[in-house]
Amino acid sequence: MFRKAFCATTLALSVGVVASTGGAFASDQATYVLSSWGPGSVGNCLVDEKHTTTDCEAATGLNGSRLSAQFVETYLNNKVLPDVPVGKRLWVMIKLREPVRGLPPDTAQPAVTALHLQDLQRQYYPRAALSAKLEGRASADCDVLENGQLDNCWITDEMPAASGFGEATLKLINLMKLTSPLPVDRKQHFDLTWQLPGPADQVFVDCLITSDLMTSDCTTDPDPDFPGAAQAVLNSLASQPLHLLGAPAGQRLEIALLRSELGKAQSTGHGSATTPYRPVHLTALNANDVLYYYPPISVRLAEMGHTVVRCKVTDDGRLNECWIAGGSFARLGLAHLRLTEIVRMQPPDASAPAYDQRLYAFQVTWTLNQ
């Protein structure tokens, strides 16, 4: 349970940028936002003639766990869903009216970008469907509350039937809240298509930094869904080690790489290696973006501090070969590495230095307002 002092009402973060010049900002915001706490319960229920849920079974968690019978009875059974068809079993999502297990109330909602949604679909993809190389889709209807929260959602269509895509769709919807303008009839329809995911483009490796600042003896965690992906990364690093200017020689580092950039030649550039590279931002990081990556356990433990990450800027303006250059709490540093996947810079021009000198460092301050 949270101690009283840790009952945060808002997560606020400030982002400090080092070695940048500002510039034009691009928007990548969908018509819904992501709830930080997933404040709803997903389950499979029978709906009786009174439009009341009964004989419910809670959805499984990402780790295969199930909620207790007491939770099911309290939050899933005996809920009246006026618009839901009666006489059959279906997947439903019911909004919880109070915090669960001591978590703070849902008060901060960061934007869901296309990258976030892709990442979430990879996490929630039905395991059996993934093993069977099965794709599908599901549709859902939801009631919309005055504050934009989605409540009383149910699956209206699932193809193939009983494939798990209905349950997965509701788990994603559980993380959403509509932005204005809200629908006049306070109803919202969702259609989600589920395509077989590949391994995430961002991959983490742990490498020893040699005296000449090259990576060596790299390891990475295997992905059970893509058994060959990890070895392909290690093979690439063995044949083409990374050169990380400024990295601490003799130490092991956690490094965030873009899988699609491994072994890919970058432009040599014509800028001076002695002049600091100052990329122009296309992404304006704000508290809503950063909150998506704030580790839940760090929130529970009230871990706050700052982290500094150093990266190279690719020819198309993405951040690659990122490593933690300073800060507090290892979890926050790893979260900062993950966050680099959504940062975009203006692609370097011909006057920019070579790729190895296109270094960009930025600091994130992680703060919980209490």
Q: Which residues contact 26 (CB under 8 A, 6 or more apart)?
A: 282, 283, 344
Do 39 and 96 meet the contact criterion of CB atoms below 8 Å apart?
Answer: yes
Residue ranges making up the domain that contains 286: 4-29+199-369
Q: 51 and 17 in one domain?
A: no
- Indicate whether 37 pLDDT > 70: no
Q: Is residue 15 part of a domain?
A: yes
Q: 308 and 281 in one domain?
A: yes
The Cα 34–Cα 119 span in angstroms is: 13
| Lookup result for tokens 């790489």 | 257
Q: 290 and 168 in one domain?
A: no
Q: Is residue 256 part of a domain?
A: yes
Q: 44 and 155 in one domain?
A: yes
Q: 156 and 282 in one domain?
A: no
Question: Span 300-320, mean pLDDT?
Answer: 91
Query: Domain boundary at 173, 194, 215, which?
Result: 194
pLDDT tens profile 65-97 = 666 787 788 888 998 888 888 888 999 988 764
pLDDT band per the 50, 70, 90 thresholds, residue 271: low
Q: Which residues contact 229 (CB under 8 A, 6 or more apart)?
A: 199, 203, 223, 259
Q: Is residue 176 part of a domain?
A: yes
Confidence at residue 44, expressed as pLDDT on a 0 to 100 scale:
92
Confidence at residue 49, expressed as pLDDT on a 0 to 100 scale:
92
Q: Is residue 316 part of a domain?
A: yes
Closest CA to 360 of 326, 328, 319: 319
pLDDT tens profile 136-184 = 999 999 988 777 778 889 999 999 999 999 999 998 888 777 766 678 8
3-state SS of 70-102 is HHHHHHCCCCECCCCCCCCEEEEEEECCCCCCC
Q: Is residue 358 part of a domain?
A: yes
Q: Is residue 190 part of a domain?
A: yes
- Indicate whether 337 pLDDT > 90: yes
User: Cβ of 299: how many Cβ atoms within 10 Å?
Assistant: 21
Q: Is residue 133 part of a domain?
A: yes
Asked whether the whole model's pTM tops 0.95, one would answer no
Query: Domain boundary at 194, 211, 234, which?
Result: 194
Q: 350 and 269 in one domain?
A: yes
pLDDT band per the 50, 70, 90 thresholds, residue 122: confident
Closest CA to 261 of 208, 313, 198, 334: 313
Characterize the bridge pairing of strands 202-209 and 176-178.
Answer: unpaired
- Indicate whether 32 pLDDT > 50: no
Confidence at residue 64, expressed as pLDDT on a 0 to 100 scale:
62
Question: Span 274-298, mean pLDDT?
Answer: 76
Confidence at residue 144, expressed as pLDDT on a 0 to 100 scale:
83
Q: How far is CA 335 from the centre of its chain?
A: 10
pLDDT band per the 50, 70, 90 thresholds, residue 31: very low
- Indicate whether 295 pLDDT > 80: yes
Q: Provide the mean pLDDT of the chain.
A: 79
Q: Is residue 186 part of a domain?
A: yes
- Indicate whether 109 pLDDT > 50: no
The Cα 62–Cα 59 span in angstroms is: 10
* Total domain count, the chain: 2
Write phi, then psi, for 167 (nearest 5 degrees).
Answer: -60, -45
User: Cβ of 165: how many Cβ atoms within 10 Å?
Assistant: 28
3-state secondary structure of 252: strand
